[in-house]
Amino acid sequence: MTSNPDFIKAAKELDRPNEGSTMMEGILIFIAAVAATAVAQLLGCSGGRR
């Protein structure tokens, strides 16, 4: 998997505890960022082939 700035930023935010955010919220945000990255890559690949 390529390391893009969004993925790295999400990982850093997961490491740094934000005020009022629990570990579960951090994990959900991290999963959402990974899913968004995967969707963006899939759209980019399919869009490039067409």
Within the chain, which residues score under 50 in pLDDT?
none
What CA–CA distances, in Å, run from 9 to 4, 30, 48? 9, 10, 26
50 within domain boundaries: no
What's the pLDDT at 31? 92
What's the pLDDT at 22? 74
Q: The domain containing residue 39 runs over which residues? A: 5-45
25 within domain boundaries: yes
What is the number of structural domains in the chain? 1
27 within domain boundaries: yes
